[in-house]
């Protein structure tokens, strides 16, 4: 649980507050995406949680403890941190990179080794990569290592600053979906900063839309997309917000089970409703056949059912 109470940050020599009397409650185990245009204060907000930036006023509690009660360096060892450019240590192997925080905490070698191996499996990397250097990995692999390194000491809270910003668009979507699964599995409280509403919708359990140092709307992706609080949010989430909302539902959850009609366009049961609707529109049909992993037809989804969601 992270609680921010009336937090304000004013940087020296600037008139307006970067973060202006902001209050935010983040329940345990969920992912919150702080999203907004550049300069809205989202990164400053996140960086105040691990005290990379000190608030001018207000209180921040992590698991009930005031972050300012502890030593900042000590505090950070218990909060995972992932940044856009990953920042892997180039002179250390992947194993040494992952071991960074456990070493700071004084874990013994055996425990570190076991944990590293477990993490490599979690983030979907080969064990053999532990002996490589960051330079020898692709951008996506490096970001996986970045997440493994942040999770190494099993911190309850994970902060992520534009974690997919440096990854090419095709790999990005796949990685985002995978990270969504990983974050669900490890049950961390995650605060993620992004300027990309699609990323926020894909990964966030809650989205906090920020503007000029304040939170304009803090809600589930579903509510943000279906009932934007004001014109700014409506504009920010985009004119296609109704279609974006469809990405929140899987085809399998809306379909009518049955054998299906072979003449209909086919859609994957794990795909989202936006893709299903697209397939229906492309075929100038009114429905689509839903297929499972093996390509077997397991049901039907109609245009009317999608529009009724």
Partner 1 sequence: MNLLGQAIDWIIQNPEEFNRALGQHLLMSITAIVFALAIGLPLAVLILRHGSMAAAAINSVNGLRTLPSLAILAIMMPILGIGLWPSIVALTILALPPILINAYIGLRDVDADVIEAATGMGMSERQILRKIRIPLAAPAMFAGLRTASVQVLAGATLAPFIGGGGLGDFIAVGIAGMDQARLLVGAVPIALLALGTEFLLGQTERLLFGERRAA
User: Which parts of this chain interact with partner 1 (CB under 8 A)?
Assistant: 50, 52, 73-78, 80-81, 83-91, 100-101, 104, 133, 135-136, 146, 149-150, 159
Nearer to partner 1, 45 or 251 (CB): 45
Question: Cβ of residue 111: shortest distance to partner 1, in angstroms?
Answer: 18
Q: Which of 133/232 has CB closer to partner 1?
A: 133
Of 50 and 194, which has the nearer Cβ to partner 1?
A: 50
Q: Is 270 left (phi over 0), alpha (psi -120 to 50) or beta?
A: alpha
**Between the CA atoms of 185, 187, 192 and 196, what dihedral angle is there, to the nearest 10 degrees?**
40
Q: To which H or E segment does residue 139 belong? A: helix 139-151
Q: Which is nearer to partner 1, 88 or 288 (CB)?
A: 88
Query: In the bound complex, what is the minimum distance in angstroms from residue 50's beta carbon to partner 1?
Result: 6
How many C-beta atoms lie closer than 10 Å to residue 116's C-beta?
Answer: 22
Pairwise CA distance, residues 188 & 251, whole Å: 27
3-state secondary structure 38-65: CCCCHHHHHHHHCCCCCCCEEEEEECCE
CB closer to partner 1 out of 104 and 283: 104
Least distance to partner 1, CB of residue 5, Å: 23
Give least dist CB 193 to partner 1, A: 13
Strand runs labelled E in 1-114:
2-9, 19-26, 31-35, 57-62, 65-66, 79-83
Yes or no: say if 244 and 68 are a contact pair by the CB < 8 Å rule. Answer: no
In angstroms, what is the minimal distance from the CB of 76 to partner 1? 4
Name the token pair of 32. Answer: 């919150």
Residue 120 beta carbon to partner 1: minimum distance, rounded to whole angstroms: 18
Our CB check for partner 1 shows the closer of 186 and 297 to be 186
């Amino acid at each position: 649980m992270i609680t921010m109470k009336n937090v304000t940050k004013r940087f020296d020599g600037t008139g307006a507050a970067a973060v202006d009397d902001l209050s935010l409650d983040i329940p345990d185990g969920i992912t919150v995406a702080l999203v907004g245009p550049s300069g809205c204060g989202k990164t400053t907000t996140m960086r105040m949680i691990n005290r990379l930036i000190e608030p001018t006023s207000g209180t921040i509690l992590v698991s009930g403890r005031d972050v300012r009660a502890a030593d900042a360096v000590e505090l950070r060892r218990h909060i995972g941190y992932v940044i856009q450019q990953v920042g892997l240590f180039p002179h250390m192997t992947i194993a040494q990179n992952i071991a960074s925080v456990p070493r700071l905490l004084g874990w013994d070698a055996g425990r570190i080794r076991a944990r590293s191996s477990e993490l490599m499996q979690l983030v979907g990397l080969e064990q053999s990569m532990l002996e490589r250097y960051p330079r020898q990995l692709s951008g996506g692999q490096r970001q996986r290592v970045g997440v493994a390194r942040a999770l190494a000491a099993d911190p309850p809270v994970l902060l992520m600053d534009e974690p997919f910003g440096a990854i090419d668009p095709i790999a990005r979507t796949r990685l985002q979906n995978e990270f969504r699964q990983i974050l669900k599995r490890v049950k961390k409280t995650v605060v993620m900063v992004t300027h990309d509403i699609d990323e926020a919708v894909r990964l966030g359990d809650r989205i906090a839309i920020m503007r000029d140092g304040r939170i304009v709307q803090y809600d589930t992706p579903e509510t943000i997309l279906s009932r934007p609080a004001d014109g700014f949010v409506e504009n920010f989430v985009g004119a296609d917000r109704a279609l974006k909302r469809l990405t929140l539902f899987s085809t399998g959850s809306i379909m009518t089970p049955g054998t299906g009609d072979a003449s209909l366009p086919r859609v994957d049961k794990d795909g989202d409703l936006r893709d299903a609707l697209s397939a229906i529109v492309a075929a100038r049909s009114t429905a689509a056949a839903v297929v499972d992993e093996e390509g077997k037809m397991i049901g039907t989804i109609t245009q009317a059912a999608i529009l009724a969601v």
